[in-house]
Amino acid sequence: MRAEGEKIQRLSIMRNVQIQLASRPLGEPVVDNFKTIELEVPDLQEGQVLVRHHYLSLDPYMRGRMNEGRSYAQPQPLNEVMIGGTVGVVEASRHPRYQVGDRVVGMGGWQLYSIVDGEGHALHKVDDSVIPLSAYLGPVGMPGVTAWVGLNEIIAPREAETVVVSAASGAVGSVVGQLAKARGCRVVGIAGGPDKCDYVTRTLGFDACIDHKIHGDLKSMSTALKAACPGGIDGYFENVGGTILDAVMLRMNAFGRIAVCGMIAGYNGEPLPMAHPSLILVSRLKVQGFIVSEHMHLWSSALKELGAMVATGRLKYRESISQGLASAPEAFLGLLKGKNFGKQLVKLT
């Protein structure tokens, strides 16, 4: 009898699975930089909330966190759960603000469950009756707000100006271009491969898209940009760096604005020298880097506009969804090589 009772009790213990950073990559990361741990979900303390994650967001910034060195954020500690945005459902709550069944966005990390202090601002309730839950990690989440902030605050495009965006089919780039179109701009994307370029023009409605796999060198990319941007470039939303930035700078109009959002081409430590920095002076360019988490005062305005656009179908988006937590490392490595087509997510339920 006692043995049976113990068995029943053990079966009722909830198991969590999490992926931790096991070692720091030298150059390109590999799956062995990660390890999988299984552990018990502890009992909830007063004020805590248990969240079952439905989707994990994979984002390029995670590559930077895997490094030891100084950056704008603390490195990801070794042997701890990998940082990451999540959406999920409250499974149990000992905080009056959260009820079982609430949909919540948070930074739950690469794991099936997280326990969160309900008192702070770590969780945000969301409504998935009109906007799908996963979109809160994409166009109506951090990537969407990133697009909104860089475009509106740094590029600040005027009607009929030309805006170029790299990684144009991705989570951030796709939103940048559609917002710029909604503001009356000519919008040109840069993306890798014919399928992504077709999607950028036909589905997202950009005026043109340049395939960087065809136009891989400076001369070819610069020529393609000249053809796609007959009036020059007024605003550039930079996601990639390297040759693409050099080529865009050659075509920037006087007093152009460059929002430096990311330089993914250099995230594995590749040097990204700038070919013609003197153009910043000659063309009187504004070149400004930004980190979306340092613009918290703009999030609610951005999310209001983005949410309305997604809910009414005016903002289109696409997702690459890998299945199961175990697929996260491979999917993340793929994201750094352009294998994703749209917002990269991991489905956990």
Ligand X SMILES: NC(=O)c1ccc[n+]([C@@H]2O[C@H](COP(=O)([O-])OP(=O)(O)OC[C@H]3O[C@@H](n4cnc5c(N)ncnc54)[C@H](OP(=O)(O)O)[C@@H]3O)[C@@H](O)[C@H]2O)c1
Binding piece for ligand X, criterion CB under 6 A, among 5-13, 102-110, 151-159, 164-172: 164-172
Residue among 98 and 237 whose Cβ is closer to ligand X: 237
- Let me know: does 166 contact 160? Beta carbons within 8 Å: no
In the list 104, 137, 187, 292, the residue contacting ligand X (rule: CB under 6 A) is 292
Q: How far apart are CA 306 and CA 312, in angstroms?
A: 10
- Return the closest-CA partner of residue 210 out of 154, 256, 248, 175: 248
CA angle (179, 185, 189) in 5-degree steps: 70
Binding piece for ligand X, criterion CB under 6 A, among 17-25, 55-63, 100-108, 249-257: 55-63
- Let me know: does 151 contact 315? Beta carbons within 8 Å: no
Binding piece for ligand X, criterion CB under 6 A, among 12-20, 162-170, 245-253, 309-317: 162-170
Residue among 81 and 210 whose Cβ is closer to ligand X: 210
In the list 83, 261, 279, 310, the residue contacting ligand X (rule: CB under 6 A) is 261
Q: At closest approach, how far in Å is the CB of 218 from ligand X?
A: 14
With tokens 């997280």, the residue in question is: 114
Q: How far apart are CA 104 and CA 97, in angstroms?
A: 12
In the list 157, 170, 235, 307, the residue contacting ligand X (rule: CB under 6 A) is 170
Footprint of ligand X on residues 67-126 (CB under 6 A)?
Answer: none
Q: At closest approach, how far in Å is the CB of 125 from ligand X?
A: 23
Footprint of ligand X on residues 134-153 (CB under 6 A)?
Answer: 143, 146
Q: How far apart are CA 256 and CA 297, in angstroms?
A: 26
- Let me know: does 17 contact 328? Beta carbons within 8 Å: no
In order of 100, 111, 130, 174, 346, the CA distances from 340 in angstroms are 33, 21, 25, 13, 12
Binding piece for ligand X, criterion CB under 6 A, among 57-65, 225-233, 271-279, 296-304: 57-65
Binding mask 220-259 for ligand X (x = CB under 6 A): -------------------xx-------------------
Residues in a beta bridge with 117? 48
H-type alpha helices, the chain: 2-11, 61-65, 142-149, 171-182, 194-198, 218-228, 243-250, 278-282, 299-311, 328-335
Residue among 21 and 41 whose Cβ is closer to ligand X: 21
In the list 173, 235, 256, 329, the residue contacting ligand X (rule: CB under 6 A) is 173
In the list 104, 135, 171, 221, the residue contacting ligand X (rule: CB under 6 A) is 171
Q: Binding of ligand X at residue 303 (CB under 6 A)? A: no
- Which residues in this chain contact ligand X in the complex, by CB under 6 A? 59-61, 143, 146, 167, 169-173, 191-192, 196, 239-240, 261-262, 264-265, 290-292, 335-338, 340, 343
